[in-house]
Structure 1
Amino acid sequence: MNLVYLAYRNMVSKPLNLLLSLLLLSLSVSLVTFVFQLSKQLGGQLDKNIAPFDMVVGAKGSPLQLVLSSVLHVDAPTGNIKLKDVATLRNHPFIEKTIPVSYGDNYKGYRILGTESEYFKSYEAELKEGRFFEKSFEVVAGYGVAGKLNLGLGDTFTSSHGLIDGGDAHDNHPFKVVGILEPSGTVVDQLLISNLESIWEAHDHWSSEGNKETGGEPHTEDEHKEHENHEGHEHGDEEGDQQDEKHENHEDDEDLEITSLLVKFKSPLGMVQLPRFINENTSVQAALPGFEIQRLMGLLGSGAKTINGIALAILLVSGLSIFISLLKTIRERRQELALLRTYGFQTRQLLGLALLEGIFLALIGFILGWVLGRLGIWIVSGYLSATYGYALLIKGPEMVELLLMVVILVLAIIATLLASLSIFKLNVAKTLSDV
């Protein structure tokens, strides 16, 4: 007689008990695997995107907001800073490179970033087709935004003021797509990147048009801050000398502003000394992306630990449910087990039958929970991709998850053995005589 078939028939004969055990077990597994994958992939994405830069210099405010807006591009900026206020950092002996960035406009919800050619090198971004920008209002589209907006080489578009779609359009300054990047798995995939001059020129025009409409009256301070969330510089490897000359010209202009300055240190001493000096002695703010993201993940980690604690409690309850279900099943089937003994089944075979039932429950519960966890990742990935441009991967089982499966199997085996103790005390003659 086939023990596997018998175990299967025993398991499905009590559908309500089966569903309860599977529900508890799959819920605990789905929570653990979902939180594990979400924390790991978000942490990996964040680390990958902040890796090129050691420090961000911007307007006073929240350092975390400064990092989120200037490096990860998922928040509003803290404000603008004068280009001349950070000019001395470009030649500091502790600093390897600085990259100014400026933004404040969007096209259909995707940010237009003004920066320099070094920004592409920092993320090792390569062209899929076309070329990098060489003059104002030429834009290089990230792989993700080009695909979602169906942008091709030579396409033109007008930007909208602000970081979300629906702002005033800069109709007199259309951008032209001159390049599309290869997918890099970084924030670059979701950006439209031009030079700094494009941002400055677009907003000089916007400001002058706004003054005309208001009869020449100046903007309020809030309006001024809102529309000046942008600034910039030029690009092109072959134009290095011209770019250096532009730097000098920009730094002489006291009115030019940028959103922030991205900094890469040459010496570890820079990370120790410069941020504190900048924060205490200047009108701007320095933030360390690594520290701020670590602090953010620490906050998220507290929530993850709480959820994992809940999942562990549910897992223990599911183990108890398996124990009670099997104990009840064995007691209700004492006559059947005694009858099997008369057909030649030994005690170890009856024990094996119960173990198979417990193992089936554990495996099916784990598989269902794992699938539900990945379904959760897929749903969150769709939301993150649509909102922030971050996509999560649907990966196969990882070592931690396989270890979880082993723990569940061990738990199910222990519960089964405890529930099956009565098999060893089965009195065949007495049990059959009571029928």
Structure 2
Amino acid sequence: MSFVGLALAYLRRRWGQALLSVVVGALGIAAVATAMVGFDALPRAARQAWGGVDLVVGSKGSALDLVLCCALHVADPRGLVSTKTAMAAVHSPMVRAAAPIALGDNVRGWRIVGTTPALLQIYHARFAQGGPWTGKLQAVAGAIAARTLGLKPGDTFVGAHGLAGDGELHEHFPYTVVGILQPTGSVLDRLVLTDIDTVRYVHVEQARIEKEERGSTDEDEGPARFPDAATAIVAAYRVPTAALLMQRRIDASDGLSAANPSLEIARLLGYARPVTVAVAAFGLLLAAIAAAGAAVGLLATMTARTKDLALLRVLGARRFDLATVALSEAAVIGAAALVLGGLLAVALLALARDALAERTGLLLQPEVGLFDAGMVIGGTVLVTLLAAAVPALRALHADIEELLQS
């Protein structure tokens, strides 16, 4: 039997302790790998989600809220602006395209966004079926929304008040689907688009009907009081230098604030970085615990195998051969922990991807770079060597006479 085979035989004899070291080590590796890869993939997912939107203009308030609501579509609206005033504020030769958006309705939880065809230019959207709306109560569905809702050109649906999916239905105002968009990889895939005048019309008419029927209304009467109301204006720059001038100029105006999606998401991820560091530190702690457990286990087994080591030395084994047994046992534990930890990391990232896509629409696409893989593998090798160092050194310096006497 080879010395590596002998190490495997010893591991089988103490499989419980070896398994515990493998599991703890795998949890540490999974935590570190998930934190490294996930934190790197999240900014890419956010950039892909907001697509070509470089600027969001809305009512005064938090710039981050404005981005989350109107660029990523994961938060609720906070107020209305005048379309005429806001569009005038973003009018500039430096702006490639700008479009108003009006929020407030949904179809089975998928947002209905009132806008203009300029929004399709911002996202560089193309049609898979049909074409753009040409009148009121016509809708264009994003790729994911259309697939999930089972929509195709010619189908009809009824919107509901609010963004939560359980609001009062606008039964008197059915929409007709006139187009389906090709996938863009952005938040546009999860939206149902219609003409902005349709959203205003539905809200105004629904409020009128409710007042006639019961003397009151649950509808937001903003559109009636504010005929050109919009939730925000989204815009795409023609030149990068616009980012240095546009936001400052708009923030200085009365009643309007501007937000840069790239800047605000970077700031949000900066707030989340301590959490990522904490997860990675916890993973390193688990890896250290696993290494300590493996080292103690190896040292204990080497001590218990004094007679075995003595017999091997009598049979001609060198000191290095005895150290090879300890190194081989640690290597097997480290390799098993690395494989299991990698599988756990893949599973965790898959769960995070699905949960994030369902709740926010962000499409997490983890990419393992050579640097990240090298860090994880190199760290595992280093921890394995440290775990085997004491038992291996003890075996190297063991004298045959001491072994025989013990």
Please give the TM-score of this superposition, normalised by the length of structure 2. 0.92
| Residue 246 of structure 1: aligned partner | none
| Residue 262 of structure 2: aligned partner | 290
Q: 1:347 to 1:205 in 2, by over 3 A?
A: same
| Residue 30 of structure 1: aligned partner | 30
- What is the Cα deviation at residue 430 of structure 1? 4.4
- What is the Cα deviation at residue 433 of structure 1? 4.9
Matches within 5 A, 1:148-297: 148-215=148-215, 223-224=220-221, 228=223, 255-268=227-240, 270-297=242-269
- Aligned partners of 2:192 and 2:220: how far apart in 1? 24
| Residue 401 of structure 1: aligned partner | 373
| Residue 45 of structure 1: aligned partner | 45
- What is the Cα deviation at residue 159 of structure 1? 0.3
Q: 1:90 to 1:411 in 2, by over 3 A?
A: closer
| Residue 106 of structure 2: aligned partner | 106
2:277 to 299, 305, 311: 305
1:422 to 394, 398, 405: 394
- Aligned partners of 1:95 and 1:143: how far apart in 2? 27
Matches within 5 A, 1:372-383: 372-383=344-355
- What is the Cα deviation at residue 389 of structure 1? 2.6
- Contact map agreement 1:98 1:263 (CA 8 A) in 2: yes
- Contact map agreement 1:106 1:162 (CA 8 A) in 2: yes
| Residue 71 of structure 2: aligned partner | 71
| Residue 333 of structure 2: aligned partner | 361
What do the CA deviations read for 1:121-163 (whole angstroms, capped 9, x no partner)?
Answer: 3223232233232322222222212222222232110000100
- What is the Cα deviation at residue 93 of structure 1? 3.7
- Aligned partners of 2:404 and 2:120: how far apart in 1? 81
Q: Which moved more, 1:384-393 or 1:77-86?
A: 384-393
- Contact map agreement 1:145 1:189 (CA 8 A) in 2: yes
Q: Report the residue type matching 1:349 in the other structure.
A: D
Overall identity of the aligned pairs, in %: 26
- Contact map agreement 2:89 2:250 (CA 8 A) in 1: no
Secondary structure of the residue aligned to 2:60 is: coil
- Aligned partners of 1:398 and 1:44: how far apart in 2? 18
Q: 1:171 to 1:358 in 2, by over 3 A?
A: same
Secondary structure of the residue aligned to 1:53 is: coil
Secondary structure of the residue aligned to 1:100 is: strand
- Aligned partners of 1:104 and 1:410: how far apart in 2? 56
- Contact map agreement 2:49 2:361 (CA 8 A) in 1: no
Secondary structure of the residue aligned to 1:56 is: strand
- Contact map agreement 1:330 1:420 (CA 8 A) in 2: no
What do the CA deviations read for 1:383-407 (whole angstroms, capped 9, x no partner)?
Answer: 2232223343466685403421122
- Aligned partners of 2:56 and 2:368: how far apart in 1? 36
Name structure 2 gaps, 5 residues minimum: none
- Aligned partners of 1:379 and 1:125: how far apart in 2? 29
| Residue 298 of structure 2: aligned partner | 326
- Aligned partners of 1:32 and 1:302: how far apart in 2? 14
What do the CA deviations read for 1:313-360 (whole angstroms, capped 9, x no partner)?
Answer: 222222222221211111111211221223332222222222111111
Tell me, yes or no, if structure 1 residue 350 matches structure 2 residue 322.
Answer: yes
Q: 1:26 to 1:397 in 2, by over 3 A?
A: farther
How many positions carry a matched residue from both structures? 406
| Residue 85 of structure 1: aligned partner | 85
- Aligned partners of 1:318 and 1:163: how far apart in 2? 48
- Contact map agreement 1:95 1:267 (CA 8 A) in 2: yes
- What is the Cα deviation at residue 69 of structure 1? 0.6
- Aligned partners of 2:37 and 2:150: how far apart in 1? 31
What do the CA deviations read for 1:264-315 (whole angstroms, capped 9, x no partner)?
Answer: 2345554333323322331122112121111101011121012112222222
Q: Report the residue type matching 2:221 in the other structure.
A: H
Q: Report the residue type matching 1:98 in the other structure.
A: A
- Contact map agreement 2:87 2:233 (CA 8 A) in 1: no
- What is the Cα deviation at residue 40 of structure 1? 2.0
- Aligned partners of 1:223 and 1:117: how far apart in 2? 25
- Aligned partners of 2:86 and 2:367: how far apart in 1? 44
- Contact map agreement 1:38 1:377 (CA 8 A) in 2: yes
- Contact map agreement 1:72 1:187 (CA 8 A) in 2: yes
Secondary structure of the residue aligned to 2:111 is: strand
- Aligned partners of 1:144 and 1:370: how far apart in 2? 30
Q: Report the residue type matching 2:28 in the other structure.
A: S
Q: Report the residue type matching 1:199 in the other structure.
A: V
What do the CA deviations read for 1:362-396 (whole angstroms, capped 9, x no partner)?
Answer: 11111111211222222222322322233434666
Q: Which moved more, 1:293-302 or 1:96-105?
A: 96-105
Name structure 1 gaps, 5 residues minimum: 232-252
- Aligned partners of 1:32 and 1:167: how far apart in 2? 42
Tell me, yes or no, if structure 1 residue 96 matches structure 2 residue 96.
Answer: yes
- Contact map agreement 1:60 1:78 (CA 8 A) in 2: no
- Aligned partners of 1:399 and 1:328: how far apart in 2? 36
- Aligned partners of 1:393 and 1:10: how far apart in 2? 42
- What is the Cα deviation at residue 420 of structure 1? 1.5
- Contact map agreement 1:62 1:78 (CA 8 A) in 2: no
- Aligned partners of 1:199 and 1:353: how far apart in 2? 74
- Aligned partners of 1:146 and 1:184: how far apart in 2? 13
- Contact map agreement 1:362 1:412 (CA 8 A) in 2: yes
- Aligned partners of 1:2 and 1:134: how far apart in 2? 79
Please give the TM-score of this superposition, normalised by the length of structure 1. 0.86
| Residue 60 of structure 1: aligned partner | 60
- Aligned partners of 1:268 and 1:401: how far apart in 2? 34
- What is the Cα deviation at residue 16 of structure 1? 3.0
